[in-house]
Every structure is written in structure tokens, then in C-alpha cells.
Amino acid sequence: MKTEDMARLLVPASAALVATLALGSGVSRGAPVRIAAPEAEGALSPAHLAPALCPAGSLPDGDACVRLPDEDDGPDVEAESNGHHDKQGHWVVYEQIPRRPERPADYDAYRYPVPCQHGCVVSGYDLDRPDDTQRRGRRLSHVGHGAVDLPQKKGTPITAVPLEHQQGDAEVAYVGPLFGTTVITRCAVREGGQVRDYLVLYGHLDAPTAGLTVGAHVAEGQRVGFVGDTGSPELVHLHLETRRVRDGVEIAKLAPGAMIANENSVVCDPRNVLQLR
């Protein structure tokens, strides 16, 4: 077995990313899209981090510098590597697809499958952030967060919303235990001149819609389930995660854990694919 294979491990709270462990090093292959903004001398707030403090080819966004897309990046954004310390303190490098610069940062700008007024996203996508600003959760039970969390009343219906540039209906790919009771749908999305499959993962459901089975089509407005706290006792919320299926992977043939393994699908910032309000 190759060292790289031996170093693969599971990061459960960040959507079971199968990540590659880079032993003793924070250096990843490929350029991370976000890089920590340099420490300013004195007591400058992030607002004072002028563009001049970010390296050429990047702009400040909060406390990070966001790399501007290269001209030859085209309309599509390839997966980038990032990293964080796992629960054992090891530095783990993973792939993720960060928010594209032209997509609004404000979570309130998007449509969600549950009723959502202002501030309904309480925990956002942070796998593109520096390690020390990623979610840790209670008892270090989380390491980063590759999704958005939407607290709702228990039993709130979850109603499918199409993704941006989605082609046709979503199709149910999985119903059962994963992140508590979970429904996964597969959506074909036109991007960068081609059609790609995305997965939408609805986690911690009280229950799926009765009769929802793998292969069923889910049209806009159709219910997929009800908000609950399975797998997250007393924290009633919808965990909504989006992942881009790797080219050539036939998701329907995979077990649910393999569907969301990094080798088969790459976690992406939901703001890239959710529709704007």
C-alpha cells in the first residue's frame, strides 16, 4: 500500500471527507485558494487590511486573501486543496471547491429548502478558511464544516429547490442513516459548457417523506423530508451540503459513505450552486 493510501482517513464532521494526510507539513500540493492575510503590524483591524497587504493576484475578504481566478481558469472553478488539524492534531489536506468570487457571500441572498428569513444560516461553509477559524464544535466533535446549518422547528417540511443551472428534476440517490437520517439527491447542473452531477445532502432529518425511494424524481416544490435532530440530539436543524461528483463516477452504484468520499465527490460551497432569491 502506498504511503498516500495509508494516510487516507476520515473526517466525519466535515462531511466525511476522505482526506490525505501530509505528515508533519502544512504544505499541500496545488495552490490553496485562500491564504491567510499577513499579520499587520500594530493593532490594525481586518477592515484596515488594504489590498496592498494581500499578495498580487488576490484580494482581501474578511481576514483572508482570496486568489483571483487565473485567466485560463475559464468559467469553471476546479477543486482546490486546503487543510486543517484533525481531532488528533494531524494536519490534513483535502480538496474543496470554494465560493466563486462572483457569488454573494451573504447567506441571506440564497434560496433554501426550508423557510428562511434573515440570518437563518447559523453555521456556514468554512473549509476554505484558515484552520484556526474553522468550526470545532463541542468536544472537538467537528473539524471544519462543509455545509450550511439551518435551525428550524422540528417537523418543518423540507421542500426541494432547484440548483442554479439545474437540468431536469433531481433524483433520489440515497435515503437512510448517514448524518442522522439523511436524504441525498443527485442533480445535473450545466456549468462551464458541460453538465456535471452534484449531490445535495439533507442531514439530521426527523424523517424522509413517506415513500421516497432511490431513483425517484424530485421536482421543485416537492417534499423530501422533515427537519429533525437525528444524529445531532437536541440541535434541531437541517444540514445542507452540496458536492460535485467527479467526472466518470457513477454515483448510483455507490454506497452512501462512498458517495461522499473525496475520491468520488468533492465538497463545495453551497453558494456556488444554490439559486439566488
* Residues that bind Zn ion in the complex, under the rule CB under 5 A: 147, 149, 239
How far apart are CB 241 and Zn ion at their closest, in Å?
Answer: 7
When the beta carbons of 147 and 184 are compared against Zn ion, the nearer one is: 147
CB of 19 closer than 8 Å to CB of 9: yes
Are 159 and 114 in contact, with CB atoms under 8 Å apart? yes
| Least distance between Zn ion and beta carbon 227 (Å) | 12
What whole-number distance in Å separates Cα of residue 64 and Cα of residue 62?
6
CB-nearer residue toward Zn ion: 140 or 195: 140
In the complex, what is the shortest distance from the CB of residue 162 to Zn ion, in angstroms, rounded to a whole number?
22
Cell of 145: 464544516
In this structure, what C-alpha cell is assigned to residue 71? Answer: 485567466
Closer to Zn ion by CB, 21 or 148: give it: 148
| Cβ count within 10 A of residue 144 | 29
Least distance to Zn ion, CB of residue 135, Å: 9
Residue nearest to Zn ion (CB): 239
Q: How far is CA 114 from CA 1, 129, 149, 155, in A?
A: 45, 26, 11, 11
Residue type, 76: D
Give Dmax over CA atoms of the chain in angstroms.
61
Residue nearer to Zn ion on the CB measure, 196 or 239? 239
Question: Is the CB of 157 or the CB of 180 nearer to Zn ion?
Answer: 180
The CA angle 179-185-189, to the nearest 5 degrees, is 130
- Count Cβ atoms below 10 Å from residue 249 Cβ, excluding itself: 16
CB of 124 to Zn ion, least distance (A): 9
Minimum Å gap between C-beta 4 and Zn ion is: 28
Strands 217-218 and 166-178: antiparallel
- Least Å distance between CB 38 and Zn ion? 31
Q: Which is nearer to Zn ion, 54 or 274 (CB)?
A: 274
User: What's 101-135 look like in SS3?
Assistant: CCCCCCHHHECCCCCCCCCCCCECCCCCCCHHHCC
What single-letter amino acid sits at 45?
S
Closest to Zn ion by CB, 2 or 139: 139
